Amino acid sequence: MDALLCGQGARGLRKSMFVSLFAGCLIILFFTLTSMIKVFSSNLIEPALTSEQHNSYRLVLITSELDTPFWAKVEKGAMAAAEQYGASLEVWGTYGSNRDDFLKNIEVAIVSKVDGIIVQGLDTDEFKSLTKVKAASSGIPIITVANDVPMNESLRRTYVGSDHLEAGSMIARQLVSDMGFAGRVVLMVSDRQEYFQRSRLTGILNVLKPYPQIETLIVAAGDSRVDVASATNKLLNEAPNVDAFIAVSANHAGSIIQEISKRMQVEPFYIYSFDDSPETLTLMQQGKIDALIAQSPEAMGEQSVTHMIKWLTGEQVPLNPDGYFTDIKVLRAGETR
């Protein structure tokens, strides 16, 4: 009898232990499933749409002309938009168009795994390699601002800035309106033309082509004031009967005018530029520049950040591959913006 009771007690103990073990397994399974559901659910949520991550976006604006009034305005617009969206924006740049340092900044931004890069486009193989290979393979979106590089060559997401083809057309139409349907026109370009310069030049030539009595002379000069002055001096020696100058690269206008003024009065010439910088505005107020294309650098900065944030959040996908053009206008002597 005692043996029977002892056996029943052992069976009851084993049953109790089994029930406890089973319950313990259920509890462990419950917490495991709960954790898995939480992890899985968090992966289903668009990370860019959460306010915490939205506020932690780190963007970088990179330019090779950090010390110019134009880029100061781009920076101002970009900073205002970043503050509006709660994003972090750093501005990196170089002085004096130091291309090696400029490219190094892009490479550092990629290695730093920033969320987005807004950059002044540079039409070189090195730039395209960084954006097309390194940035793309790291999943970092690139938006070019002010100066573009073709999308198929750079894999940039979009471009924000002036329509340089239309800008060239606008300044050429102003020239025809001022000068008439005949004359010799010098188109001063850089030795190594950027994509935006080629677009401007194409716009100019498209407008002037129907006028057979307008002769165009394309003159290549370096980027320094000394190089531009030298090219202008040589031109005036070889072709003294020039009627007009168009500084396709905006920073050439001052050097052209300075060199002309050493020889003769500037006023008889029709002179045009593409940027309302303090120098060109002063020259226009003095009557030495007849008209220029006024751009919208502050809007470029603001819109580039806005489009970058909207892409990162999925609100605007895809971005327009042709770009988003900011306002441009012809500003004539005696006019203000």
At 23, is the pLDDT very low, low, confident or very high (cuts 50, 70, 90)? Answer: low
At 27, is the pLDDT very low, low, confident or very high (cuts 50, 70, 90)? Answer: very low
pLDDT tens readout for residues 101-152: 999 999 999 999 999 999 999 999 999 999 988 998 899 999 999 999 999 9
Identify any residues that bridge with 60 across adjacent strands, giving them in sequence order: 90, 117
Q: In terms of pTM, does the model score above 0.85?
A: no
CATH architecture of 164-294: 3-Layer(aba) Sandwich (3.40)
Mean pLDDT of 323-327: 98
pLDDT exceeding 90 applies to what percent of the chain? 65
At 316, is the pLDDT very low, low, confident or very high (cuts 50, 70, 90)? Answer: very high
Summary mean pLDDT of the chain? 85
Residue 16, pLDDT score: 56
* CA dist., res. 215 & res. 244, Å (int): 10
| Contact by Cβ (8 Å): 88, 58 | yes
Residue that wins the pLDDT comparison between 22 and 314: 314
In this predicted structure, the answer to whether residue 284 has a pLDDT above a threshold of 50 is yes
Class of domain 51-161+297-326: alpha beta
One-letter amino acid at 264 equals M
Residue 122, pLDDT score: 92
* CA dist., res. 148 & res. 86, Å (int): 27
At 22, is the pLDDT very low, low, confident or very high (cuts 50, 70, 90)? Answer: low
> Cis omega (within 30 of 0) on the bond before 210?
no
Q: Is 273 left (phi over 0), alpha (psi -120 to 50) or beta?
A: beta
* CA dist., res. 176 & res. 211, Å (int): 9
